[in-house]
């Protein structure tokens, strides 16, 4: 699961990418201009930015340069119709991590995103196993005690985030920021409700005690030091 921000003034592109990425378990948001993008990035965390080149107001290169100048480290992929080498060189020199020329295949874009998120600053391998509990975020399937249960997208995203941060108390606000769109009408009680749904699913495979409630902080998955069966001990954002 990744939280993706698209900055593009084309509603058609935004709608197509939203359909694709939400169907594959990601949190997807879009804005139509650079000014709104910078404001959103100043207040919320994203895992990757998909940035158009030519937009009304601030151009994509101006957004990229300003974001990097302000200390922003989120990976950026330019999505643009400008295929000349000079533009590619400019975009990468401004701090972009990749550059894709339109039209493109969404599967190639997804592969590029996976490649970037496998780097040390991004999300690590998709499949996670902690204390005998395995999660496949793509299939949204959690397995333990030789039993499996299918999760809804929010349930899978919550479990993935907690499994990527073992032994760290995670606040309800941090879960809201990571799993829900920034403009969603969600509150701490929303997180509590979905944690309950997730625990009900985990109970079906004998793991209802996997997620600990840490009062008043939030939630945590405990991992004993040296525990076996944990593939992703370094999965820390």
Q: Report pLDDT for 230.
A: 43
The CATH number linked to 12 is 3.40.50.2300
Q: What is the residue range of 10's domain?
A: 3-117
Judge whether 203 lies within some domain.
Answer: yes
What the block records as the tokens of 33 is 């201009």
Q: Report pLDDT for 224.
A: 60
Q: Quick one: 22 and 62 in the same domain?
A: yes
Please give the average per-residue pLDDT across 177-201, as a whole number.
85
The CATH number linked to 151 is 1.10.10.10
Q: What are the tens digits of pLDDT across the range 86-125?
A: 999 999 988 898 999 988 999 999 988 988 887 654 444 4
Our count of domains for the chain comes to: 2
- Regarding beta strands 76-80 and 48-52, do their DSSP bridges make them parallel or antiparallel, or are they unpaired? parallel
Distance CA 22, CA 156 (A): 13
Q: What are the tens digits of pLDDT across the range 147-187?
A: 999 988 889 889 998 998 889 899 998 898 888 877 667 78
Q: Quick one: 27 and 100 in the same domain?
A: yes
Q: Quick one: 13 and 110 in the same domain?
A: yes
């Amino acid at each position: 699961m990744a939280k993706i921000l698209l900055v593009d003034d084309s509603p058609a592109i935004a709608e197509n990418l939203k359909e694709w990425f939400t169907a594959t378990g990601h949190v997807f948001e879009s804005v139509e201009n650079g000014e709104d993008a910078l404001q959103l990035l100043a207040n919320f965390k994203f895992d990757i930015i998909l940035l158009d080149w030519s937009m009304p107001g601030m151009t994509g290169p101006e957004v990229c340069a300003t974001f990097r100048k302000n200390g922003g480290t989120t990976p950026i992929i330019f999505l643009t119709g400008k295929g000349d080498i000079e533009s590619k060189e400019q975009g990468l020199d401004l701090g972009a991590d990749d550059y894709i020329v339109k039209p493109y295949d969404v599967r190639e874009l997804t592969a590029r995103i996976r490649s970037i998120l496998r780097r040390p600053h991004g999300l690590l391998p998709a499949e996670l196993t902690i204390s005998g509990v395995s999660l496949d975020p793509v299939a949204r399937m959690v397995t333990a005690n030789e039993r499996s249960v299918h999760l809804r997208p929010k349930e899978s995203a919550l479990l993935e985030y907690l499994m990527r941060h073992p032994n760290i108390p995670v606040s309800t606000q941090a879960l809201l920021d990571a799993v829900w769109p920034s403009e969603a009408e969600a509150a701490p009680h929303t997180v509590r409700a979905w944690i309950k749904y997730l625990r009900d699913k985990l109970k079906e495979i004998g793991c209802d005690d996997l997620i600990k409630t840490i009062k008043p902080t939030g939630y945590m998955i405990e991992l004993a030091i040296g525990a076996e069966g944990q593939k992703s001990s370094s999965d820390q954002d």
